[in-house]
Amino acid sequence: MTAGAEEAQSRAWRIGFTSLMSGVMGVAIFSSAVLGIISRFLIDDLGITRTQLGWLAFVVSITAALSSPQAGHIADRIGGRSMALAVFAISGLGLLAMSASPTYLVLLAAGLLAGLGQSGANPSTNKLIRLYIPTGNRGLVTGIKQSGVQAGLFLGGLTIPALAVAHGWRTALALVLIAPAIGLIVTGFLLPRDEPRASGGQWDGGKQPLPRAIHWIAAQGVLVGAAAASIITYLPLYAEEEVGLSVQTAGVVVSVYGLAGLFSRLAFPAFGEKAPHLAYPMLVVVSVAFTGTVLMWLSQAWGVALLWVGAVLVGAQVAWTALGMLAVITQIEQHQAGRASGVVTRGFGIGLALGPPIFGFSVDTTGAYHVGFGFLLAVMVGSAVLMVMWLREDQAPTSAA
C-alpha cells in the first residue's frame, strides 16, 4: 500500500471513529432529550402532570448520575470499546422499554434502564479519544462527539412530533431503535478489541486522587445540568402554552435549539483547548445562555421572534459538557479517564435530575412559567460564580514551603 493510500485509509478511519463517538453520545442521551419532544403526547396519553413529567426526567438522569462513577471504573477495567458496546445495547433496551410502557409507573422503570445506558457514554468515549486522538486534535473531536446529543435532538425535533401525530408516540420511539443497532455493528467492525487495564497505564483501582479541577467542574455541572434539563424538558410545552405555537412548530424550536448546541459544541472545545484556562470559555457559554433565557422568558409577552433568538443563544449552554469532557481528556491520565469522566458526569447528571421536577412543580403550583425562569437564571448566575472561584483559586500564588 502506498503512503497516500495509507494516509487516506487513516483519514477515513478517523472520520468513522469521530462519527461513532458522536453516535454513542446521541443514542445514550436521546432517552432524556426525547421526553420534552413527546411531552404533550405523554401528558395526554398517560394523564400525567408536568411535575410527573419532571420526575420521569429525574429518574433517568439520577440513575445515570449515581451510576456514572461506577461506569467509569468499569470502563477503566474493560476498555472503551466494550463499554461503548454496552452503551448501545442498554440504551436500545431502554428506548424499547419506554416505547412499550403501558402506564406511567412502567415508564419510570424503563427510565432506570435508559439512565444506566447514559452512564457509560462519556467514560467510554473519553477513554477512546484519549487513546486514539493526539493532542491538538482532541478539542475538535470532543466537540464533535458531544454534538451527537444535539444532532439527535435536532433530528428528533424535526421527525418525532410528525411521526407521533401520524402513528403514535410509541411507534415513533420504536423507530429510533435503528440507531443503537447500527452503532453496535459499526463499533464491532471499526474498533480493535480492548486490552483490559491497558492503553496508557495501569488501572489504579480508584486509589489515586483526582485533580481539584475535576471536582470544580463536577460542582458546576450540577447547576448547568439543572438549567439544561429544565429547558429541554419544558421548552416545547412553554412554546405551545405560553407563546401559542403548534406541536409541530414547537418541535422545530427544539430542533433550532439542538442545531445551535451542535455548532457551539464544535466551536467552544477548539477554543477551550487553546484558552489559558477552561473557566474563560465556560463563562462565555453561561453568559450567552443567560441572555438567551431572558429572551425566551420575554417572548410570551413581546412576541415569538424572541423565542427563536433565545433558543439559538440558549443552545450555547450545552457546549459546557464538551468543555468539561475536554478537561478530562486533556488533564487526566489514560488509566483515570473513565473514573474522572464518571465524577464529572455524576455532577452534571444530578443537575439534570433535579432541574425538571423543580421547574415542573413551579409551573403546576403557580399556573405560570415566571418562577421557573427565575430559577433558571439563578442557577446560571451560581454557575458563573463557581467558575470565577475556580479561576481565582488556580491563579492564586502558591505559598512558599
User: What is the tens place of the pLDDT at every residue in 330-386?
Assistant: 766 656 666 777 788 788 888 888 999 999 999 999 999 999 999 999 999 999 999
Q: What is the pLDDT of residue 133?
A: 84
Question: Does 152 have pLDDT greater than 70?
Answer: yes
Distance in Å from the first CA to the final CA of the chain: 58
Is 201 among the domain residues? no
Q: Cell numbers at residue 90, please?
A: 442498554
> Residues 235, 254: contact at Cβ < 8 Å?
yes
For residue 130, the model assigns a pLDDT of 82
| Residue 384, C-beta contacts closer than 8 angstroms, at least 6 positions apart | 283, 286, 287, 290
Q: So what's the pLDDT on residue 233?
A: 85
- Please give the average per-residue pLDDT across 303-313, as a whole number: 93
187-219: pLDDT as tens digits: 999 988 765 454 444 445 455 777 788 888 889
Report the alpha-carbon distance of residue 302 to residue 283 in Å, rounded: 28
> Minimum mean pLDDT among 99-113, 251-265, 289-303, 348-362: which range?
251-265
Residue 101 or 73, more confident: 101
- Under a CB-based contact definition with an 8 Å cutoff, are residues 151 and 258 in contact? yes
Q: E strand or H helix at 91, and its extent?
A: helix 80-99
Task: State the pTM of this model.
Answer: 0.73
The C-alpha cell that represents 184 in the structure block: 453496535
Q: Is residue 372 within 8 Å of 362, Cβ to Cβ?
A: yes
Separation CA 354–CA 229 (nearest Å): 9
Q: Which residue intervals of 120-244 are DSSP H helices?
A: 121-132, 138-167, 169-175, 178-190, 212-241
**Does any domain span residue 205?**
no
Q: Is residue 200 part of a domain?
A: no
Please check whether residue 103 lies inside any domain of the structure: yes
| pLDDT (0 to 100) of residue 259 | 83
* Mean pLDDT, residues 287-308: 93
| Average pLDDT, integer, range 90-103 | 92
Angstrom distance (rounded) from CA 86 to CA 90: 6
C-alpha dist (Å) from residue 145 to 132, 190, 321, 326: 14, 16, 11, 11
According to the model, what pLDDT value does residue 401 have?
35
* 379 lies in some domain: yes
pLDDT digits (tens, 9 = 90+) for 25-84: 999 988 877 887 888 888 888 988 888 988 888 888 889 888 888 888 888 888 889 999
Q: How far apart are CA 68 and CA 72, in angstroms?
A: 6
The number of residues making up the chain comes to 401
pLDDT at 396: 67
- Confidence tier at 10 by pLDDT (50, 70, 90): confident
- Separation between Cα atoms, residue 342 and residue 73, nearest integer Å: 8
Residues 6+ apart with CB under 8 A from 240: 40, 246, 247, 250
More confident residue, 70 or 89: 89
User: Which residue did the predictor score with more confidence, 124 or 261?
Assistant: 124
Any domain includes 216: yes
Domain assignment present for residue 2? The answer is: no
Give the whole-angstrom CA distance, residue 386 versus residue 394: 12
Count of domains observed in the chain: 1
- Provide the pLDDT confidence category of residue 3 given band limits of 50, 70 and 90: very low
Count CA within 13 A, CB hemisphere, residue 29.
32
CATH number of domain containing 131: 1.20.1250.20
137 pLDDT exceeds 80?
A: no
Listed in sequence order, the residues at least 6 apart from 36 whose beta carbon sits closer than 8 Å to its beta carbon are 232, 233, 234, 235, 236, 237, 254
Query: Which of 99, 107, 100, 90 minimizes the C-alpha distance to 27?
Result: 90
| Ramachandran region, residue 47 (left: φ > 0; alpha: ψ -120 to 50; beta: rest) | left
Mean pLDDT for the chain overall: 84
Tell me, what DSSP letter sits at residue 168? -
CA distance linking residue 335 with residue 222, whole number of Å? 25
Domain span including residue 140: 10-190+210-395
Distances (CA, A) of 325 to 97, 159, 272, 307, 366: 29, 29, 11, 29, 37
Whether 59 contacts 110, CB under 8 Å: no
Q: What mean pLDDT do residues 390-400 have?
A: 69
Q: Is residue 3 part of a domain?
A: no
- Phi and psi angles of residue 115, each rounded to the nearest 5 degrees, phi first: -65, -40
